[in-house]
Structure 1
Amino acid sequence: MADRGRLVCIEELPSHLILEILSSGRLSAADLACLEQTSRLFRGSHDISPLKFRSLVDFAAFQLCDSHPIFGAMPSNAQKELFDRCSENWKRVLRFLQSVEQSSDMVETSAGNQMQITTGRYHTLLISGSSVYSCGSNLCGVLGHCSGVTQCVTFSRINFPSLSHVVHVSASHNHAAFVMQSGEVFTCGDNSSFCCGHGEAGRPIFRPRLVEALKGVPCKQVATGLSFTMFLTREGHVYTCGTNTHGQLGHGDSLDRSTPKIVEQLERVGSVVQVAAGPSYSLAVTSDGTVHSFGSGSNFCLGHGEQHNELQPRVIQSFKRKGIHVIRVSAGDEHVVALDSSGYVYTWGKGYCGALGHGDEIDKTTPELLSSLKSHLAVQVCARKRKTFVLVDDGSAFGFGWMGFGSLGFTDRELSDKILKPRVLDSLRSHHISQISTGLYHTVVVTNRGLIFGFGDNERAQLGHESLRGCLKPTEIIVPETINEAADMEECV
């Protein structure tokens, strides 16, 4: 009888078990590449892979890609184009898919921590592990602390009910929203326009409060605009509430909503996979790669070639006609950036200061391919007032638009310069950037190692530095690992 207590070397396992381990979903594309480089076992095919796969690891990467929700929703021609763009390397395809997912959700750091960063106008919110932190101006209660707090000069923990675990956060000028692991949503901030979704308008909400109207409707993402909120459910439905002057709630009228109401027209077009909120317009991406826009048509942000308001979701036909499968969008104050399933970037809206990246300041009324980045595989797009960032799959960041007090991070340019075309952020080249978010005058990034860097204006402590008024070059932000509530309040004034 075999010795059941004997340790088994992985080389002794049958190929199908090794493949099962590799494709379990617990390994990243970087992990697979490392295994392939360090062991002949993983470089070999073991007669299990069809000839089109280079190795056992390559076959495992293909299986992980094939089961990935982004890849699975792509039409076959889009899948082939992405595969070709990745030099027919399934590990790189997997890296692209995982990077896109993490850049818009939670970053899984090399140490196993989960992080997400998001910036409001003059503040920053951070998820790190099981805690949520905030710093900057507490205007209208956006930091989630008590009413006596006007500003937090360093990252300070927000208190939630003991069993709550925040998995997604969104920050705007005047309010914030938090999605829990349970799917529940909490909001805080200015509620004068019903944007917090509690059915009443009045005083600011300083501590995060549960949105009772969404009980039993588990959510996975939120997007906060200027005085309105979008809620994306796990089933792919969209709810909205708040001010509706321009039709940004998508209900076919301009009536405000005091509690979240489902956007009925989006129910009929398939599952929504991502939402984005501008100041007074909304974007929704469906699983088939279609982009729907509604709300204010100012600055051509709706992408229809005109500046009319849309009271209901309307398909951006430019993408549809060209067969472009969009997977992510970012809504800036005056322009929009989109990412397609092949890693190409498109911009439209107001071109002032070079925010669209085409080498000029000309407005684009419909989406236009950013040709200068065609040789790069983009994984995240991020827009705010007159500036744009694009992350690519090797961890580099490109920025363009208005320097805005140094918030583009180029140390050799003046604080109000215009960068008309994408330029790589050299000061962070030694780091692999996994996520980026930019506010009005400040920008914050998270690396794959869990490091946080900020640059730009810090007048309101939005970068989490107590003594600096601004950071002209990316400067590391330290977040205390363990903080008690008393210590938190000492850092808030």
Structure 2
Amino acid sequence: MAAEEDVRMTEVTGPFRQVLFISAGASHSIALLSGNIVCSWGRGEDGQLGHGDAEDRLSPTRLSALDGLDIISVTCGADHTTAYSLSCTEVYSWGWGDFGRLGHGNFSDLFTPQPIKALHGLRIKQIACGDSHCLAVTMEGEVQSWGRNQNGQLGLGSTEDSLVPQKIQAFQGISIKMVAAGAEHTAAVSEEGALYGWGWGRYGNLGLGDRNDRLVPEKVSTLNGEKMNMVACGWRHTISVSDTGRLYTYGWSKYGQLGHGDFEDHLVPHKVESLADSFIKQIAGGWRHTMALTSDGKLYGWGWNKFGQVGVGDNADHCSPVLVKFPHEQKVVQVSCGWRHTLAITEEKNVFSWGRGTNGQLGHGESMDRNVPKIIEALSVDGSSGQQIESSKLDPLSGKTWVSPTERYAIVPDERTNGSFGKGEWG
């Protein structure tokens, strides 16, 4: 980690840069702004912010290492992050490297973005990051996976971790539209609307009618002819949306995260009846909570709410969808769930966050929890002081890039520790 005096902080001002995309990890956040600018904030202990150190950032900070690389997408895992440049045909990754989740062929932590050599030259359509594994869908509909694989979540037919991306051969001849990654399971939707699940299935989160693991993708056959359009994963639950905009959830529901008005697990996709009259435009899954965005810009949340991550003004768990209210009834255009916090972009070009704030992951310049949406001033057109984003530029001779596993040890998830993942605080 660099000494404090080695970091030069500058302020980025000028024309307003609109936030195009947001993504939330376990305790950090990232945003892609117009002009291909990337900002990150929150917990930095494992290098997941990409600023060359292990410091937390309480406000959005420009990730200078990605300047000029024409980044078009960013995705958070639990304690790692990825970005993609179409013009360079490179996927970059950084953060906690245990189990090979960074795809660089080793277990080392990485404090600045580095390209994944095995993916060089591939045109990537989408990247999904779970707790300890990642997947990338190519423009041709093929899927590469890497990282932790103890329950078969990589879909490679084994339980061996993969330190570099490998093609999922089970999808040969099947064009995949998108993938989603949970803690230890994975889901996918094909271009033809078929839904697949694989990996850890203890809570029915694969949608296959049982609690068994799968080492390769298996098609969900209980959808009564409905074609699926999108899928998202929470920690141990799965959310999907049909072509007709209907919302389905399945898996673990101890905290009501399935939204069916109870706390019962479901082993196959089950329609969320309370939103049956809404057309669902986007979905997101957190550690134990769920968000759904309707076509008319309304955002609903439910599930675990200890830190206010559902965003409805209390800290009680909700087993049915509840409408999240925004100032001046702003319409939402995008949402992302972290493990215990949530981010949203509104039509008015404002960015809001709520939930756990202990590491600054809400981007408000403080470490307070929030149980209703609060505007991130630096990223929003309505920010009271205009757009002011700090940029951290590390002296390359003084900052660490790689940190070997002998210096930093991972905590392996264990049911005896309440299923905790990573090195952060999960309460």
- Asked if TM exceeds 0.5, the reply is yes
* Distance in 1 between residues matched to 2:275 and 2:354, nearest whole Å: 23
Query: Counterpart in 1 of 2:383?
Result: none
Q: 1:431 aligns with which of 310, 326, 330?
A: 330
Query: Counterpart in 1 of 2:84?
Result: 179
Tell me the amino acid that sits aligned with residue 365 of structure 2: E
- Residue pairs, 1:76-95, within 5 angstroms: none
Tell me the amino acid that sits aligned with residue 374 of structure 2: T
Asked if the contact 2:17/2:33 (under 8 Å) is kept, the reply is no
Tell me the amino acid that sits aligned with residue 184 of structure 2: S
* Distance in 1 between residues matched to 2:282 and 2:394, nearest whole Å: 32
Query: Counterpart in 2 of 1:87?
Result: none
Query: Counterpart in 1 of 2:152?
Result: 247
> 1:287 aligned to 2:186?
no
Asked if the contact 1:156/1:488 (under 8 Å) is kept, the reply is no
What is the deviation of 1:405?
1.0
> 1:160 aligned to 2:65?
yes
Query: Counterpart in 2 of 1:144?
Result: 50
> 1:121 aligned to 2:19?
no
Q: Which has the higher contact order (CA 8 A, sep 6+)?
A: 2
Higher helix share: 1
Q: 1:214 aligns with which of 119, 131, 138?
A: 119
Which deviates the most, 286-295 or 176-185?
Answer: 176-185
Q: In structure 2, do the counterparts of structure 1 residues 381 and 485 end up closer, same or farther at CA, with 3 Å as the change threshold?
A: closer
* Distance in 1 between residues matched to 2:76 and 2:105, nearest whole Å: 20
What is the deviation of 1:401?
1.3
Asked if the contact 2:61/2:390 (under 8 Å) is kept, the reply is no
| Divergent runs of 4+, >3 A | 111-114, 160-163, 480-489
Query: Counterpart in 2 of 1:133?
Result: 39
What is the deviation of 1:168?
1.4
* Distance in 2 between residues matched to 1:390 and 1:486, nearest whole Å: 34
Query: Counterpart in 1 of 2:217?
Result: 313
Asked if the contact 1:396/1:428 (under 8 Å) is kept, the reply is no
* Distance in 1 between residues matched to 2:100 and 2:348, nearest whole Å: 39
What is the deviation of 1:429?
6.5
Tell me the amino acid that sits aligned with residue 310 of structure 1: R
Q: In structure 2, do the counterparts of structure 1 residues 428 and 247 end up closer, same or farther at CA, with 3 Å as the change threshold?
A: farther
SS of the counterpart of 1:372? helix
What is the deviation of 1:428?
5.0
Q: In structure 2, do the counterparts of structure 1 residues 305 and 429 end up closer, same or farther at CA, with 3 Å as the change threshold?
A: farther
Q: 1:297 aligns with which of 201, 207, 216?
A: 201
What is the deviation of 1:468?
4.8
Q: 1:458 aligns with which of 353, 357, 376?
A: 357
Q: In structure 2, do the counterparts of structure 1 residues 309 and 429 end up closer, same or farther at CA, with 3 Å as the change threshold?
A: farther
What is the deviation of 1:213?
1.0
* Distance in 2 between residues matched to 1:233 and 1:189, nearest whole Å: 23
Query: Counterpart in 1 of 2:170?
Result: 265
> 1:376 aligned to 2:282?
no
User: Larger C-alpha radius of gyration, 1 or 2?
Assistant: 1
SS of the counterpart of 1:134? strand
* Distance in 2 between residues matched to 1:418 and 1:211, nearest whole Å: 40
Q: In structure 2, do the counterparts of structure 1 residues 114 and 442 end up closer, same or farther at CA, with 3 Å as the change threshold?
A: closer
Asked if the contact 1:179/1:221 (under 8 Å) is kept, the reply is no
Structure 1: gaps (5+ residues): 1-110
Query: Counterpart in 2 of 1:347?
Result: 249
Asked if the contact 2:63/2:392 (under 8 Å) is kept, the reply is no
* Distance in 2 between residues matched to 1:264 and 1:478, nearest whole Å: 46
Q: 1:472 aligns with which of 371, 386, 390?
A: 371
Superposed CA deviations along residues 293-349 of structure 1, whole A, max 9, x for unmatched, are 111112111011111110001001112xx1111011110012111111111000111
Asked if the contact 2:189/2:196 (under 8 Å) is kept, the reply is yes
Tell me the amino acid that sits aligned with residue 242 of structure 2: D
CA RMSD of aligned residues (A): 1.9
> 1:407 aligned to 2:313?
no
Tell me the amino acid that sits aligned with residue 134 of structure 1: S
Asked if the contact 2:86/2:124 (under 8 Å) is kept, the reply is no
Tell me the amino acid that sits aligned with residue 65 of structure 2: F
Superposed CA deviations along residues 28-70 of structure 1, whole A, max 9, x for unmatched, are xxxxxxxxxxxxxxxxxxxxxxxxxxxxxxxxxxxxxxxxxxx
Q: 1:197 aligns with which of 103, 107, 124?
A: 103
Superposed CA deviations along residues 125-179 of structure 1, whole A, max 9, x for unmatched, are 11111111111001311111112x3201100011235431221111121211111
SS of the counterpart of 1:479? helix
How many residue pairs were aligned?
371
Tell me the amino acid that sits aligned with residue 350 of structure 2: L
Superposed CA deviations along residues 259-281 of structure 1, whole A, max 9, x for unmatched, are 1110011122x211111001111
What is the deviation of 1:487?
8.0
Asked if the contact 2:62/2:392 (under 8 Å) is kept, the reply is no
Structure 2: gaps (5+ residues): 1-15, 380-386, 396-427
* Distance in 2 between residues matched to 1:436 and 1:161, nearest whole Å: 23
Q: In structure 2, do the counterparts of structure 1 residues 428 and 382 end up closer, same or farther at CA, with 3 Å as the change threshold?
A: farther
Q: In structure 2, do the counterparts of structure 1 residues 453 and 431 end up closer, same or farther at CA, with 3 Å as the change threshold?
A: same
Q: In structure 2, do the counterparts of structure 1 residues 153 and 161 end up closer, same or farther at CA, with 3 Å as the change threshold?
A: closer
Q: In structure 2, do the counterparts of structure 1 residues 316 and 251 end up closer, same or farther at CA, with 3 Å as the change threshold?
A: same
**Identity over aligned pairs, percent:** 28
* Distance in 1 between residues matched to 2:17 and 2:364, nearest whole Å: 26
Which deviates the most, 251-260 or 425-434?
Answer: 425-434
Tell me the amino acid that sits aligned with residue 328 of structure 1: M
Tell me the amino acid that sits aligned with residue 283 of structure 2: V
SS of the counterpart of 2:222? helix
Query: Counterpart in 1 of 2:421?
Result: none
TM-score w.r.t. the length of structure 1 is 0.72
Asked if the contact 1:132/1:157 (under 8 Å) is kept, the reply is yes
* Distance in 1 between residues matched to 2:172 and 2:264, nearest whole Å: 36
Query: Counterpart in 2 of 1:46?
Result: none
Asked if the contact 1:240/1:263 (under 8 Å) is kept, the reply is yes
